[in-house]
Chain A
Amino acid sequence: MTAVTDVTGTGGRVEEDCRPDVERIVADLPGQDLLPRKEGELAFSAPWEIRAFALAVAAHRDGRFSWPEFQGRLVAAIDRWERADPAERASWSYYREWLQGLESLLLERGLVDADELDARTHEFLHGVRDPKHH
């Protein structure tokens, strides 16, 4: 789609803007052999994985941290998983580790507060925050 005016707004145009950047980031991700892909493209198995992916990339693009800083956290999270005992390694999810890495960086920077995050998670879990309308 090549929409450039108001309705789709950020539609086709912006996608073309940010795709090369995002692809550069993806090409540089740690654990390339662990990264779920389908036909070369990133493969996500659930919407939350895409949101988690987008949050980290967006926070970096908005200047909240440098990409190597995030990569370091992701590597650490994956390393931890690999060293965990086998019972804990029963299920593997790249984006679970991703989320863990992102969380640790945001908390450390004081961009998110741990208690607040727990409370908000609780609200979503119990439907307080998920209006029926969406």
Chain B
Amino acid sequence: MSTDHVLPVRPDYNADPTPDPVVVARVKALESLLLEKGVLASETVDRVADLYEKEVGPRNGARAVARAWTDPDFKQRLLADPVAACAELGIGGMQGEDMVVVENTDEVHNVIVCTLCSCYPWPVLGLPPNWYKYPAYRSRIVKDPRALLRGEFELDVPDEKTIKVWDSSAEVRYWVLPQQPPGTEGLSEEELVELITRDSMIGTGLPRTPDSPAGAR
């Protein structure tokens, strides 16, 4: 197997993050045809994709959260008008849908769901994880969020904390502004970004702490 290709120019993979719409559509078309024809099982695709999606997709959301933690004025703007605040960071892609950011506090823990299907704030969080689409998550997170979070996500929300479940729709996508972990006040925005997981913005997890293992969601 040849691995010794010599490139005339060392490519800069981060130079142009703007996806070519044709390529994006082509991949979607290929996936939908392969699934439709039964060439592929959607679980197989999702399992492989999930190894990477949980790191790449939520990057935009993590940037917004880290900025909110370090800049109180930005935080106010993010809570008041998330679409405009995200646009300040170059995060776009919402097409007519509204976005609402719900803030975790000492009193309230928020978690998002789409009970109808799988609406998800994809411009900030990327593609939804498999389980987000499963009927079991969609019904149980509404019926007994505390037990579900504890049993399936190992997230213990203290009894004195209220859990609010936000049901997204085609019109409004919710996502969670997690609380900054104690002891991280001195960290830079870039360092904070690394702590902010996808699940912490769904509400099924908390941000990492600097000493927790990398690779946690």
The residues of A with any CB-CB pair to B shorter than 8 Å are: 1-3, 5-11, 14-15, 17-19, 22, 28, 30-34, 36, 41-48, 50-55, 57-59, 61-62, 64, 68, 71, 75, 78-79, 82, 86, 89, 91-94, 96, 99, 102-103, 106, 111-112, 116-117, 120-125, 129-130, 132-134
Say whether B23 contacts A55, CB under 8 Å: no
From residue A75, how far is it (CB to closest CB) to chain B in Å? 6
CA distance A52 to B37 in the complex (A): 17
Q: With contacts A45-B14, A99-B27 known, is A50 near B52, CB below 8 A? A: yes
Contacts of B212 in A (CB 8 A): none
Q: Check A120/B29 contact, CB under 8 A, given A28-B1, A45-B14, A47-B127.
A: yes
- Which of B11, B27, B118, B127 makes the CB contact (< 8 A) with A52? B27
Interface contact tally, CB-CB below 8 A: 213
Partner of B46, one of A10, A17, A33, A61: A10
A61 to B46, CA, bound (A): 12
Contacts of A32 in B (CB 8 A): 3
CA distance A16 to B52 in the complex (A): 13
Chain A residue numbers with a CB within 8 Å of B120 are 134
Write the chain A residue with the least CB distance to B116. A133
What 0/1 readout, one digit per residue, does chain B (185-209) give for beta carbons within 8 Å of chain A?
A: 0000000000000010000010000
A-facing residues in B12-58 (Cβ within 8 Å):
13-14, 16-17, 19, 21-34, 37, 39-41, 43-53, 55-57
Q: Could you tell me if A30 and B52 are in contact, using CB atoms closer than 8 angstroms? A: no
Q: List, sorted by A's number, 23 A–B pairs whose CB atoms are closer than 8 Å.
A: A10-B47, A10-B130, A18-B51, A19-B51, A47-B56, A54-B46, A54-B48, A55-B30, A55-B40, A57-B48, A58-B45, A71-B1, A99-B26, A99-B27, A106-B39, A117-B26, A121-B28, A122-B25, A132-B96, A133-B117, A133-B118, A133-B119, A134-B122
B1 and A30: CB pair below 8 A? Answer: yes
Of B62-70, B84-92, B133-141, B157-165, the segment with at least 4 beta carbons within 8 Å of chain A is: B133-141
Q: Which of A34, A43, A62, A102 has a CB less than 8 Å from the CB of B5?
A: A34
Are A11 and B30 closer than 8 Å at their CB atoms? Answer: no
Distance (Å) between the CB of B200 and the closest chain A CB? 12
Query: Do B131 and A7 touch across chains, with their CB atoms under 8 A apart?
Result: yes
Contacts A7-B134, A45-B56, A61-B44 aside, 20 further interface pairs with beta carbons under 8 A come to A1-B205, A9-B130, A28-B1, A31-B5, A45-B14, A48-B28, A50-B56, A51-B31, A52-B30, A55-B27, A58-B41, A86-B8, A111-B37, A112-B33, A112-B37, A120-B33, A125-B21, A132-B95, A132-B96, A134-B118
